[in-house]
Amino acid sequence: MSKPQSQPQPQSQETAVYTHGHHESVLRSHTWRTAANSAAYLLGSLKPHMTILDIGCGPGTITADLAALVPDGHVTGVDQAPGILDQARATAAERGLDNVEFAQADIHALDFPDDTFSVVHAHQVLQHVGDPVRALREMHRVTKPGGYVAVRDSDYLAMAWYPASEGMDDWLDLYRRVARANGGEPDAGRRLKSWALRAGLTDIHATSSTWTFADADEIAWWSGLWADRTLASAYADRATEGGLATPERLRAVSDAWREWGRREDAWFTVPHGEILCRKAP
């Protein structure tokens, strides 16, 4: 399917900066994501012929899963960062998918006509944008009547772990301040329904689900990627350049992640808010 003919759209008012960037420690978790573990609330609504827009596709693992689930349809994956799209294309090519394409796009001003897609999906995106209400209006605009806007975002303040760790308490406080300084909203999950109502969406089905890491391999993976991300990703640069943390503080947070990850009884849960909104036929 070729890209639909574009219509003139208002210039983006994007004011947020993507907090994480695409360092290997970030992609370690992004490439782990699947439709099953990150979009289960949507899957029951999919039909083989559907056309899907996957916004903020990153390395394309969820996008590829969605393409496999609509073999008679088509999926377009878009991301604001053009550099990650080659990896997304490689992901789709490795799986032999020929019903998916990728392009650069801004969620605040999507370059597609009204009523183009059966499903417009965004996973872990609205927490990083400058105007989530406008973003939802754009998602709704390009959704076909009878189609779905589907959004899932984590909620940092609701994250929980055991055993307690002052260093990880410091991580959570610092991360939320860095994300907000970048123009985002780290506690987006609890706000999705409210944002959708403000955007004028109707027929909103709000749910929640979690990722939980509990066995030794999962804990080692999760704590290791956050320990590395704290020191080496764009998040680390933005924390220090913005004057919110010193390198020494980041090192202490990273060490706290590794120390906690060595605990036999370690447990961590990431809650997500979800909304599935059907556009009026």
Q: What is the pLDDT of residue 20?
A: 60
| % pLDDT > 70, the chain | 90
- 235 falls in which pLDDT band (50, 70, 90)? confident
Spatial separation of the C-alpha atoms in residues 5 and 133, rounded to whole Å: 25
Q: What is the pLDDT of residue 279?
A: 98
Distances (CA, A) of 14 to 36, 108, 132, 217, 239: 30, 7, 10, 38, 20
Q: DSSP E strands: which ranges in 92-240? A: 100-104, 117-123, 143-154, 160-162, 204-213
Q: Please, what is the angle between helix 166-181 and helix 247-261, to 10°?
A: 130
Spatial separation of the C-alpha atoms in residues 160 and 154, rounded to whole Å: 12
- 212 falls in which pLDDT band (50, 70, 90)? very high
Q: What is the pLDDT of residue 59?
A: 95
Q: What is the pLDDT of residue 237?
A: 87
Instruction: Choose among 110, 150, 160: nearest CA to 126.
Output: 150
Spatial separation of the C-alpha atoms in residues 137 and 149, rounded to whole Å: 10
- 23 falls in which pLDDT band (50, 70, 90)? low
- 8 falls in which pLDDT band (50, 70, 90)? very low
Q: Which of 18-22, 39-43, 44-48, 184-188 has the lowest mean pLDDT?
A: 18-22
Mean pLDDT in residue range 28-52: 94
- Whether pLDDT at 5 is above 70: no
Can you give the C-alpha Rg of the chain in angstroms?
A: 19
Q: CB under 8 Å to 63, separation ≥6 — which residues?
A: 54, 57, 75, 77, 88, 91, 92, 100, 102
Q: What is the pLDDT of residue 24?
A: 67
| % pLDDT > 90, the chain | 83
Q: What is the pLDDT of residue 193?
A: 98
pLDDT by residue (tens digit) across 174-197?
999 999 998 999 999 999 999 999
Mean pLDDT in residue range 17-34: 70
Spatial separation of the C-alpha atoms in residues 108 and 178, rounded to whole Å: 22
pLDDT by residue (tens digit) across 136-160?
999 999 999 999 999 999 999 999 9
Q: What is the pLDDT of residue 22?
A: 58
Give the pTM. Answer: 0.91
Distances (CA, A) of 252 to 8, 145, 247, 257: 49, 51, 9, 9
Spatial separation of the C-alpha atoms in residues 165 and 87, rounded to whole Å: 36
Q: What is the pLDDT of residue 252?
A: 97
- Whether pLDDT at 265 is above 50: yes
pLDDT by residue (tens digit) across 79-132?
998 889 999 999 999 999 999 999 999 999 999 999 999 999 999 999 999 999
42: part of which helix (H) or strand (E)? helix 40-43
The CA angle 58-174-107, to the nearest 5 degrees, is 30
Q: What is the pLDDT of residue 43?
A: 98
Instruction: Choose among 198, 184, 201: nearest CA to 127.
Output: 184
The DSSP call for residue 280 is P
Mean pLDDT in residue range 261-266: 98
Structure tokens at 101: 């394409």
Tell me if 107 sits within 8 A of 138, measured CB to CB: yes
Q: What is the pLDDT of residue 234?
A: 81
